[in-house]
């Protein structure tokens, strides 16, 4: 059993870094291609769709510093953590003002929390990071996102899958997503994500015990953002919150379902596993 000195890890809370980028058009074209979107990429000076800033501020951790699973644990904001397996857990985003193509961007990031948890699949460390993205006009986006670190899998064992909840039925919005190794690879490339569970099938199945390539949490996040945009034309997304409940894999299509809220100021959407249980739950408020 791994001994975890949480107090030593929590001393890293408050670590901050700042970096810069430019809101180029090329990542937006890559998002359109990866998700088979039938829309034109915004041109210089035009606002980018909500959530598509994910194509900026890519990881630049040198390959020699990556963990065996390809992740950047122990670099950037995060200290070296004693649990080896990394999974996306959720996000909370506020869109204060548009990011426009051509903007020079500045991002301030901070490690804001580290918690130790016991889950249905064993011991977990939950790390929360916050980010603020600025354009020349001021604050544009604030976001928090959570990452879960899990225990390793014994050789030959299968990865534990979190307990799942039944998805709501009879919702008015529905779309089917068929994840494929090609678009998972393209998403890894456009976000600079070297985590092997998304493209290295032998490693994913033999070392981490998953049944197939893992669909990135942020991949599903963009699917849900686009799903909400498509069902709310002319209404910008003001806030977006998503919580991961269970992983998705490239072994079968999965569904998105959703509905507007009763007051009409927002909506809810879910990504559903092939067995009909909740993989992701998202909610949004609309402008």
Residue 14 counted as domain residue: yes
Residue 164 counted as domain residue: yes
Contact 255, 177 (CB under 8 A): yes
CATH code at 248? 3.10.129.10
Q: Please give the helix or strand (H or E) that residue 240 lies within, else none.
A: strand 237-244
Contact 229, 238 (CB under 8 A): no
- For residues 217 and 198, give the distance between their C-alpha atoms in angstroms, rounded to a whole number: 10
Helix runs in 11-153, H state only: 26-34
Residue 83 counted as domain residue: yes
**Domain that residue 85 falls in:** 6-286
Helix runs in 13-122, H state only: 26-34
**pLDDT tens digits, residue range 138-158?**
999 999 999 999 888 887 778
Residue 180 counted as domain residue: yes
- For residues 223 and 52, give the distance between their C-alpha atoms in angstroms, rounded to a whole number: 11
**pLDDT for 80:** 85
**pLDDT for 38:** 94
Contact 266, 260 (CB under 8 A): yes
- For residues 256 and 177, give the distance between their C-alpha atoms in angstroms, rounded to a whole number: 7
Whether 73 shows a pLDDT value over 80: the answer reads no
Residue 252 counted as domain residue: yes
**pLDDT for 75:** 61
- For residues 287 and 71, give the distance between their C-alpha atoms in angstroms, rounded to a whole number: 36
User: Exposure of 7 by Cβ count < 10 A (0-12 exposed, 13-18 middle, 19+ buried)?
Assistant: exposed
Residue 56 counted as domain residue: yes
Contact 270, 258 (CB under 8 A): yes
Q: Output the furthest CA–CA distance in the chain (Å, rounded).
A: 54
Q: Give the mean pLDDT of the chain.
A: 93
**pLDDT for 193:** 94
Look up tokens 């197939």; give the residue. 212
Residue 1 counted as domain residue: no
**pLDDT tens digits, residue range 79-105?**
888 888 899 999 999 999 999 999 999
Helix runs in the chain, H state only: 6-10, 26-34, 181-190, 201-206, 217-231
Closest CA to 28 of 131, 101, 133: 101
Residue 237 counted as domain residue: yes
Whether 220 shows a pLDDT value over 80: the answer reads yes
Number of domains in the chain: 1
**pLDDT tens digits, residue range 223-242?**
999 999 999 999 999 999 99
């Amino acid at each position: 059993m791994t001994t975890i000195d949480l107090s030593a890890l929590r001393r890293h809370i408050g670590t901050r870094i700042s970096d810069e980028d430019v809101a180029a058009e090329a990542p937006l074209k890559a998002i359109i291609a990866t998700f088979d979107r039938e829309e034109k990429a915004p041109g210089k000076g035009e606002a980018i769709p909500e959530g598509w800033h994910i194509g900026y501020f890519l990881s630049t951790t040198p390959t020699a510093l990556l963990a065996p699973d390809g992740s950047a644990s122990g670099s950037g904001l995060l200290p070296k953590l004693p649990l080896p397996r990394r999974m996306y857990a959720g996000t909370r985003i506020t869109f204060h003002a548009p990011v426009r193509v051509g903007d020079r961007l500045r991002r301030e990031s901070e490690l804001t929390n580290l918690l130790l948890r016991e889950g249905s699949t064993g011991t977990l460390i939950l790390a929360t990071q916050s980010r603020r993205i600025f354009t020349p006009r001021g604050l544009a986006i604030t976001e928090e996102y959570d990452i879960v670190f899990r225990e390793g899998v014994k050789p030959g064992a299968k990865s534990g899958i979190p307990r799942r909840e039944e998805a709501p039925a009879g919702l008015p919005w529905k779309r089917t997503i068929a994840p494929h190794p090609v678009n998972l690879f393209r998403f890894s490339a456009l976000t600079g994500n070297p985590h092997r569970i998304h493209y290295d099938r032998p490693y994913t199945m033999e070392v981490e015990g998953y049944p197939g390539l893992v669909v990135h949490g942020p991949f599903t996040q963009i699917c849900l953002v686009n799903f909400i945009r498509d069902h709310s034309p002319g209404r910008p997304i003001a806030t977006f919150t998503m919580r991961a409940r269970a992983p998705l894999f490239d072994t079968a299509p999965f569904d998105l379902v959703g509905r507007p809220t009763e007051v009409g100021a927002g909506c809810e959407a879910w990504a559903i596993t092939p067995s009909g249980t909740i993989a992701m739950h998202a909610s949004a408020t609309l402008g």
